[in-house]
Structure 1
Amino acid sequence: MACCPTEERIKGAFSTAKTSKVGTGATAKKVSTTIYVFAEELEDDKIKIQAVNENHVPTGPTRTISRDDLLRDFFPDPEYYHKTMLPQMRELAKQIASGERHLKNGQPFTAELSFANALNLDEQNIRANFGIGLVYLRRGEKEKALEVLRRLVTLDAAFEKRHKHLFNEFGINLRRNGMYEQALDYYGRALDFAKDDEHLFFNIARTHIERRDLGRAREALEQALAINPGFAEARDYLAKLARGPAGLKLTPSS
């Protein structure tokens, strides 16, 4: 017997009107503002919604509500989604992809332009922030990289699992640039979100080794091995530490 067709999942722009009072006394008046969100249906009747900025792209933290809550509090706006929001979302994705491609090809100045264009559309975009931070680190522009670092540590989404490769790469580049204290502060923030990540502890250990704090390096390696006893590289470094400073012949940072 044929099954009923699956109901299409919600994905698009929704709006709600917010009324606020402006002025006082006889000059007071009510002003209505339309607020847009991007909504995407997940499993179990849950909807992920995200605010839309003045450039018409979803930005900032997301929150989850029920389908009933969405349909009660917001109105679908397919015309705004298809004619305004979707083109801007595609442009943002295009600029980020361009920046990442140029960075991979060793073209940091061209990459910077693309990432800057992306940040003009969404200053909180995680991939664009990491990308331009990597540009500055690879060019040795430490002060600019620190500005990006300060911005990233305030963004919880930067340390979500889907961005793991980005935050690992950024931390490694901080270490490679001799920015050890900043790297450790950054890794400490990452630990708030990934306490069971053995590679994070390994990167912390590498940072301590390069700043010659071997005791803390040993502690971090032991934590990495407690999470993953089969982590061969961490075990190898721990064996080198056991032989003392003479056993450490640091290879180029990886």
Structure 2
Amino acid sequence: MSGKNIYGPYRNESVLVVSQNERHVSVDRKMLKNLGYTNVTHRTSQELGHVYLEKSAPDLLIVGGTLADATGQEFIRSVRKTYPDMVIPSVMVTLRNRKSDVLEAISAGCAGYVLRPYSMDTITRHLAAALESSRFDELDNEQLISARNLVSAACFDEAIEEFSELVPHENEADRYFSMGTRALMEGKFGKAIIAFNKALALNALYAEAYKGMADAYKGKGDMRKYQEHLKNAADIYAQQNRHQDVKDLFIEILRVDPDAMNPYNKVGMRLRKEGDYQSALQMYFQAQELSPDDEHLCFNIAKAYMYLEDIDSSCRYLKESLKLNPDFEQASALLEKLQRKKR
């Protein structure tokens, strides 16, 4: 084979394989060799994986379902938390085929999910997609930089034109999210993760473009457009749970519009209407960190708990809402209704 890659245009990426199953590692090493990877390191545990990562930054992680001291998902999550500036796509190669395992992998930040036993074509496709997902599209990145430079040079109309080409006219991210959801329901777990990661990458691009357009309109003195695009960026950051970015933008929004809706609250309301009450509560609690004295937010939390049939928690937040605003008639009426129901 002479190290030549016969399956695709891979560079000589370094790979860290983390798994306690020696037989699986042997199969993965052979596969990587056939694909032209020559720099492959193996570790058996989360602890040893972190020891390696403290000194080296591989281009790709291949993670088994079970390590000596953690699950594969736990390891991926710990890598993201410990090394937030280190962009390493991770692919789980595992026997675990339950939907709950895949959802946990998505939550952890996994870029690919391959079930054993796999074919060479399957693993090749998923490794390529994982590596591609970690690299911001070079042309889009160049255009973002060019547009930001135009803002810095006070060429606001030209900057707006550049940014406009990057924001969605039809939201492709939503289409990929729908594809991912459908694939998940069909048990096509690898395809689901590829689609979800594509959606995340597109949304990250859209958020940056919206923020840039806001800056350009601010430079032109069009504060209405500035505020509109700032909110668009904040909404996307909230969906991705990028808390510091949301916080920074929300503070900026409030300088222009003191009554603006908290971005997390907006996402929570959408999730509640879709019937995903637990996810809505997560968004509402994030919103509370930014808006602790918002009686409407407490009311929304109460409604989510009501739909979850947790009447005690619902009443608690309704009382909190009324403490913030004793004249809040909707909260008062709902509290009275729920208290009658408890009797």
Greater helix content: 2
Q: TM-score, normalised by structure 1?
A: 0.46
Q: TM-score, normalised by structure 2?
A: 0.35
Greater strand content: 1
